[in-house]
Chains A and B, each alone.
Chain A
C-alpha cells in the first residue's frame, strides 16, 4: 500500500498525484485488474499505466483506484 492512501471517502487514492509516470507504469505492470481505457482517455505514453486504466477515477489532483 506504499503508493496508496485511503481518502476521506474511504477510496484508495494514488499518492503520486497526476505526474508520477514511472510509478503508475510500475504498478500497472503488476496489476491483475489493469484494463486499457478508451483511446481518447489515455494520458500516459507508457500504455500499461494506472493513468491509462479503465478502473481509475480522476479527481482534480489524483485518481482513485476502483479495484483496490
Chain B
C-alpha cells in the first residue's frame, strides 16, 4: 500500500530540523524492511506573527510503499522517534494517510487553507477523524499536527513543494542536455518557470545548487533564460523560494 507521511515542528531555534527527522524516519522504515520511500518534500505554510513556528513554518512529507501489515508498527515507531529525538520545546506532529483516501479533496483544500489563514489543532483533528487519517502529537503543545496534516494535503496536490536535498549531476557551469539530466538523476521533467517543457535535446547550463520541485506529480528541474541568453540555466534558490 502507498501512504503519505507528514511531519512538522521537530526543531527549536538552536537545534534540529524537521527535514532531518523525516530522513531518519525514512531510514528506519527502510532499515526495518517495512517498505521503500520516495522523495521528501518541503511545503511552505502561512507566515504570520501569531503562528508559533520556529523560523520558516514549513512541513515535510514523503511517500512510502509498504506492506499493509507494517502500517501500525510504522505509526507507533515514528511517533516514538519524534518523542525521543525532537528538539526540546518543539511541538511535533505526525500524520499518516493512505493514498486511496475518500475525501482526499478535503485534505487538499485543508493544505491550501494553511497557506492562507491561521488554523487550529481542533480543526486538524476534526478533519483527520472525518477522513480516517492518522494524526498524533508527540510533545510540547502538539501544534505540529496542523503542519503534518497540511504537508500530506499539499503533497497530494502533486503541485506543491520543493524536494529536500540537492541533485548531484556535474560541476557547476557544465552544459548538458535534458536527456542526460533525466537519465542520470531522479529528475522527471525539465521546464521553464512559465511552464515550457524542454525537449530531450535542449541544453541546460548547471548552476551551483540544483534543487527540484513537485509539479504535475513529477520531480521537476526548473530553468530560466537570462535576457538575451541563448542557453537555459538552472534556477537559483531565490527563484525557487515561492515553491
Contact = CB atoms under 8 A, between A and B. Distances in A.
User: How many A residues touch the partner, as a band?
Assistant: 20 to 34
Contact of A40 (B57, B162, B238): B162
Given A9-B49, A38-B19, 18 more contacts: A37-B55, A39-B165, A40-B17, A40-B162, A40-B164, A40-B165, A41-B17, A42-B209, A43-B238, A43-B241, A45-B236, A54-B13, A54-B14, A54-B55, A56-B55, A57-B54, A59-B48, A59-B49
Interface string A22-39: 000000000000000111
A2 interface: no
B56 A58 contact: yes
A16 B221 CA distance: 29
Chain B interface, >50% SS class: loop
B237 A38 contact: no
B238 A60 contact: no
A53 to B, nearest CB: 9
A40 B61 CA distance: 13
A20 B15 CA distance: 27
